[in-house]
Amino acid sequence: MNQSVPMPLAAVPAPVPKKKHRNLAQGVVESFTGSIQAGTLKPGEKLPTESVIMEMHGVSRTVVREAISHLQAAGLVQTRHGIGTFVLAPQPANIFAADTIRTIGDVLAILELRISLETEAAWLAASRRSDEQVTAMDAALKRIVAAPNRAVAVESDKAFHLLIAQATGNRYFIDILSDLGNTIIPRARLDSEHLAHDEPKAYQERVNREHDDIYHAILRKDAEAARAAMRTHLSNSRERLRRAQLEVGA
């Protein structure tokens, strides 16, 4: 790709007709977005200069810069200072998006992945964690216990697992667990009543004990115990889900 040569003027998206009170920057954004999505502007191509966009759309330089900022925020273009603004390749969809996790079977499959990942993450976290990180883990566990509702408990539960990933010092553990989002917490997808075989309070107490075992192993820097505690926790979660799957026929 010749980074110094802008795309031909014929490829410049046609200006959107002005409308009274129309947001001019949004008009430029929509024009370029449409051209990128249609393939008229291809990944790697350089956008026209600000002056050309101003002339084509009849807008000010401030409007052009605002539009480019919106396109950058949307992940459609990237500006390289001193070189220009280029169209980015489409980003792959997050395969862990909430709308792709539809059944208990899907959550079970995620748990199998988590067992392989998070047991090793716990081992590494126990070996590498800082005092500040274990303090943050302890705070997350206290928020779970004090949570006034399921939504708060789920967020704190997720935070605890992400803190363990962060303590590994390996950004790929962090990236994968961040992409998983709320799918790492089964009760985010299923009521506690379906996961518990007694009462929800007893279920929560069991989960809290499992979390405590993980935390204290990491606190002691006992890597093998942390790995075992995480495996026990996630394996128990898997078994609870399997029983729930049989009950609801998912």
Question: pLDDT tier at 2 (50, 70, 90 boundaries)?
Answer: very low
- Between CA 109 and CA 129 the distance in angstroms is 29
The pLDDT tens digits of the residues spanning 30-46 come to 999 999 988 899 999 99
What residue ranges define each of the domains in the chain, with the CATH number in brackets?
Answer: 9-87 (1.10.10.10), 98-248 (1.20.120.530)
Tokens matching residue 127: 């070996």
Judge whether residue 193 has pLDDT over 80: no
SS3 (DSSP) at 78? strand
pLDDT of 13: 53
pLDDT of 192: 46
Backbone angles phi and psi of 80, in degrees to 5? -105, 110
